[in-house]
A and B are shown apart, each in its own frame.
Chain A
Amino acid sequence: DQQVKQNSPSLSVQEGRISILNCDYTNSMFDYFLWYKKYPAEGPTFLISISSIKDKNEDGRFTVFLNKSAKHLSLHIVPSQPGDSAVYFCAASANTGNQFYFGTGTSLTVIP
């Protein structure tokens, strides 16, 4: 049972434009959400997180938006750069639990 879903396996964006990666979840107990970035032959690296008490968190070019009523979050990258080309994983956890649930990832390609 996939509790965290990333329905777009891939996304291509022109350099300088906005990249929007989406993630949906089913478990209403999730209260902490993270985005990870993964390059080939490397482990995932933490990018940005958001707690359920917020609806937006920003870090430089990266912004995560959380819509609790829709059980949806999105990652915005503005402006997109070729170095952003990677697989992006969305993850969620419940504060009372010990597991992080990951989505299947979205492969982002930023075209120069």
Chain B
Amino acid sequence: DSGVTQTPKHLITATGQRVTLRCSPRSGDLSVYWYQQSLDQGLQFLIQYYNGEERAKGNILERFSAQQFPDLHSELNLSSLELGDSALYFCASSLRTGGPEKLFFGSGTQLSVL
């Protein structure tokens, strides 16, 4: 158990809908990262927050947004969903803002857009 909790584990929705994925980092970790893993793709970095502030942005679509709350949990909001958004979404946490340190990953949320 990595100590990173993601909910829900599975999410099935329709095109055009909006969903929210939730992540609770390891106790004491201030930094939260979101990654997307599509079929046959690596882990694509979406966005990072550190202690409530956005620190880095990757290949995140404008239809997607995220935030980190005062209790350090984070939410990833996906709107106007398309079939291509179906993927495994991982949250990871670390103590600081970046290397050299390792990330601890949650077990992911499998999103299926039908």
Contacts and interface: CB of A to CB of B under 8 A. Distances in A.
Q: Is chain A's interface secondary structure helix, strand, loop, or mixed overall?
A: loop
A50 to B, nearest CB: 10
Interface residues of B, number: 29
Interface string A87-100: 00101011101111
A32 B41 CA distance: 22
Interface of A: 2, 4, 6, 9, 31-32, 34, 36, 41-46, 49, 51, 89, 91, 93-95, 97-105
Interface of B: 2, 4, 6, 33, 35, 40-45, 48, 50, 55-56, 58, 90, 92, 97-100, 102-108
Contacts of A99: 45, 48, 56, 58, 98
Given A43-B106, A43-B108, A44-B90, A102 B99 contact: no
B102 A102 contact: no
